[in-house]
A and B are shown apart, each in its own frame.
Chain A
Amino acid sequence: GENVEQHPSTLSVQEGDSAVIKCTYSDSASNYFPWYKQELGKRPQLIIDIRSNVGEKKDQRIAVTLNKTAKHFSLHITETQPEDSAVYFCAARGPINSGGSNYKLTFGKGTLLTVNP
């Protein structure tokens, strides 16, 4: 099955700096890669996603890049602000079984981002 590795597990940056979180996945059949932000005690919320036919996507200060050949994707946050502090999860959606039509979303273990004022 799919395996998603996420690094780093913790990241501390100064306000205004950029933050980069990287994920790798194992199943080349995975075709959808969302990123979720989870604030303490709250539910994960989608912040950006990318599909396998796209190499890069940007939404204001957030961007995601995907390298299908290398099977890795990254989240980039520019001009970080204290309210960006949270746990960020990457995920990959791929088939349960080879050639199957049933999919599941596999999450990385998360990155605790702290933005210091």
Chain B
Amino acid sequence: DQQVKQNSPSLSVQEGRISILNCDYTNSMFDYFLWYKKYPAEGPTFLISISSIKDKNEDGRFTVFLNKSAKHLSLHIVPSQPGDSAVYFCAASDPGTYKYIFGTGTRLKVLA
């Protein structure tokens, strides 16, 4: 049972345009959502997060939107840069168990 899903395994975007990465979840008890960036053979790097009591959080070029009624979150990267090319994981945390459940990742390729 995949509680956190990233249905797009890959995404290609032109440099300077917007990248939108999507994530869906099933457990309404999740209270915190995070996005990580990962390069091959390295540990994931934290990008941005959002609490379940908010619907938007912004940090520089990165914005995360949360739609609780749809159990959906998205990460917007504007403008996209070639250095943003990596695999992006969304994650959700369960406050009752302190578990963090990750999606399967979306590989973003930003074309110069």
Decide if A and B are genuine partners: no
Enumerate chain B interface residues (CB-CB to A < 8 A).
none
Enumerate chain A interface residues (CB-CB to B < 8 A).
none
